[in-house]
């Protein structure tokens, strides 16, 4: 981020987005929630579009570091390891990163109507998707591109369901079971 202040503003915007939604995110609301003198946010991000861009940029920055350390251990049962890794990642996003995930979803919707956001969102999504393709390819997928995409979609669906849908508590064990079944379905019963 360009400055400490920009970080503070963006982080506050993320929380507001998660807690109060798109309508709750305003320049003034950020000032107030961050304890900044009124006008500060308006000054840093002149337009609403600029504020959204700043927030999304910060969000992708935060999430990219969260998924950085994840080298696939090429052990005996790769599916098992991959399932464990994925379940843990989902778990993290659902608990510690709950608000970040919700804020990201809010911005994803907004990106459908704002090209400047779409650009940022897609660039981050692409990197993530490519990673999934590479991993599934290494795991012996017969159609890595489609599978990679489906893998990401499955993850988003699980998170969406927990955070927005039924609202039930996420259970790590269930996540593990689910991901394992999902992977076996794609890679075949006895996949390496």
Partner DNA sequence: TCTCCTTTACTACGAATGTAGTGAATATTA
Partner DNA sequence: TAATATTCACTACATTCGTAGTAAAGGAGA
Q: What are phi and psi of 89, to 5 degrees?
A: -65, -45
Tokens of 176: 């593990």
Measured CA to CA, the distance from residue 36 to residue 26 in angstroms comes to: 14
Min dist CB 160 to a copy of itself, Å, is 5
Min dist CB 40 to a copy of itself, Å, is 22
58 binds DNA (CB under 7 A): no
Tokens of 166: 């039924």
Nearer to a copy of itself, 2 or 23 (CB): 23
Tell me how far CA of residue 163 lies from CA of 87, 97, 103, in angstroms: 15, 11, 11
Residues in contact with 156: Cβ distance below 8 Å, sequence separation at least 6, in sequence order: none
186 binds a copy of itself (CB under 8 A): yes
Contact residues for DNA, defined by CB under 7 A: 2-3, 5, 25-29, 36-40, 42-44, 46-49, 51
Binding site for a copy of itself (CB under 8 A): 19-23, 102, 105-106, 108-113, 118, 122, 125, 129, 146, 149-150, 152-158, 160-161, 163-167, 174, 177-178, 181-186, 188-189
């Amino acid at each position: 981020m360009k400055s400490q202040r920009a970080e503070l503003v963006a982080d506050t915007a993320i929380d507001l987005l998660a807690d109060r939604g798109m309508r709750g995110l305003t320049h003034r609301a950020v000032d107030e929630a961050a304890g900044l003198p009124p006008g500060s946010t308006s000054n840093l991000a002149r337009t609403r579009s600029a504020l959204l861009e700043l927030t999304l940029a910060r969000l992708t920055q935060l999430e990219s570091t969260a998924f950085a350390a994840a080298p696939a251990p090429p052990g005996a049962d790769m599916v098992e390891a991959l399932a464990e890794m994925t379940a843990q990642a989902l778990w993290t996003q659902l608990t510690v990163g709950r608000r970040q995930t919700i804020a990201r979803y809010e911005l994803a919707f907004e990106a459908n109507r704002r090209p400047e956001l779409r650009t940022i969102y897609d660039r981050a999504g692409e990197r993530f998707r490519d990673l999934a393709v590479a991993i599934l390819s290494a795991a012996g997928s017969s159609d890595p591109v489609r599978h990679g995409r489906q893998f990401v979609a499955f993850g988003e669906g699980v998170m969406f369901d927990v955070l927005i849908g039924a609202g039930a508590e996420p259970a790590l064990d269930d996540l593990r079971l689910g991901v394992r079944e999902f992977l076996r379905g794609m890679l075949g019963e006895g996949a390496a």
